Amino acid sequence: MKIFTPCIIRETASGLNRVPIEDELMRSREIFLTGEVDAESMGSLLKQLMFLNHESPDEEITLYINSPGGEVDSGFAVYDYIKVMPAPLRTVCVGLAASMGAILFLAAQKREMFPHSKIMIHDPAPGGGSLAGMKPAQLEDYLSSLKKVQKVLGDTIASATGQTRKWVLTKTKKDTYFDADEALKYGLATKIITEKEPIR
Task: Provide the annotated active-site residues.
Answer: 99, 122
> Strand 191-192 relative to strand 176-179: parallel, antiparallel, unpaired?
unpaired
**Partners of 112 in beta bridges:** 92, 191
**Burial of residue 85, with CB atoms counted within 10 A of its CB: 0-12 exposed, 13-18 middle, 19 or more buried:** middle
Question: Which H helix or E strand runs over 20?
Answer: strand 15-20
Phi and psi, residue 125, nearest 5°: -115, 160
Can you tell me the distance from the alpha carbon of 32 to that of 63, in angstroms, rounded to the nearest whole number? 6
Describe the crossing of helices 39-55 and 72-84 by its angle, rounded to 10 degrees: 10
DSSP 8-state secondary structure symbol assigned to residue 3 = P
Residue 183: partners with Cβ closer than 8 Å, 6 or more residues away = 93, 113, 118, 119, 189
For 80-157, strand residue ranges (E) read: 89-98, 110-113, 118-121
